[in-house]
Chain A
Amino acid sequence: MHVEKDVVAYLSGELAPAEQARVTAHLEGCEACRRAVAESRAVLVALAPGRPAPPPVDWARYQAELRAKVARRPRGWWRRPWPALAAAAVATIVLVLTLQTPDRRLTDLTALDETVLGAQLPMLQQYRMVERLDMLEDLDVIGQLDRIGSR
């Protein structure tokens, strides 16, 4: 089995001793891999001293720009103009829809009160004095009257 994939690590001396020995042994008998090692070495040697020099930088300016960026606090999404406008628009739409829609929750609660009173109706009919009570005044009073009556 050829050792081409290990060539760079072999040339860098990064292989474990056993692997290094295995590659060395293979190279003794494999001309293709020896050529691969020689050509790879040539590439790495050529790249090492021939690093392209990047365009020069004014490091004082670089550091000043960086300090300015550090000083600038990161803005949360809610503080940026477009998301803030979009959030305001959505809130307005929700508010308008809420105001225009009948309060179903209130209606449902009223219906629930009527159901409770309806269930108590046979009991209420037994007490003439209840007629003088406001129907919604106090069901506890009625409950007490019921308990007194049942004794």
Chain B
Amino acid sequence: MLCRRVAERDEAAFDLLVARYQGRAYRLAWSMVRDAEDARDLSQEAFLRVYRTAGSFRGDARFSTWFYRVLVNLCLDHRRRGWWQRLVVRDAIGEDPERGVLERQAAPVVDPGDTLGREQLMTQLWGAVDRLSPQQRAALLLHVQEEQPTSEIAAVLQCSEATVRVHLHRAVSALRKTMGQG
């Protein structure tokens, strides 16, 4: 098992683990903190913690769940320290609109005839995601972006599945309003 080898300070195993998870770790951190530099630091910090505490991983949960828990907690702590809040407010009031639009560019859309309207809608939608509460946002990102089932999201956020369903319900309800206005 890769994690056990990391616990034994196997550098090659650690490199392999990083290569396997670095993309989604960075993307998830970026989706939560909305700053590339911070996302890089936070995802690296998550790997660092995994490296130092790999021996404590009991293996009764999936490694990805444990890793997401470490990473999401780091992102939530980062937000509590105020940096994330500042970034969200800055984006929301449009202090740097160029950056917000560029960073939220959607993937190529299916309907080329309505590209502009679609991009505007996606910008509004992801802007609304940014304004969700940290827990709702984390639950939603893990659901739509990381494709994690409710049970895994509950394990990551260390709450019940019922609580995750409430987070997702409230998040989607807020986004439905945004789409209705769009």
State the majority secondary structure of interface residues on B: helix
Knowing that A52-B31, A54-B30 touch, tell me 10 more A-B residue pairs with CB under 8 angstroms: A12-B143, A14-B150, A36-B176, A43-B176, A48-B144, A49-B109, A51-B145, A52-B126, A54-B36, A57-B36
Q: How many A-B residue pairs have CB under 8 A?
A: 106
State the majority secondary structure of interface residues on A: helix
| B72 CB within 8 Å of chain A | no
A42 touching B15, Cβ below 8 Å: no
A57 touching B145, Cβ below 8 Å: no
Q: Bound state CA distance, A70 and B54, in angstroms?
A: 13
Chain B residues contacting A47 (CB-CB under 8 Å) are 125, 129, 140, 144-145, 175
B165 touching A5, Cβ below 8 Å: yes
| B78 CB within 8 Å of chain A | no
Tell which of B107, B109, B172 touches A53, judged by Cβ atoms closer than 8 Å. Answer: B107
B144 touching A66, Cβ below 8 Å: no
| B51 CB within 8 Å of chain A | yes
Chain B residues contacting A12 (CB-CB under 8 Å) are 143, 149-150
List B residues at the A interface (Cβ < 8 Å): 14-15, 18-19, 22, 26-27, 30-31, 36, 39-40, 44, 47-48, 51-52, 103-107, 109-110, 121-122, 125-126, 129, 140, 143-145, 149-150, 165-166, 168-169, 172-173, 175-176, 179-180
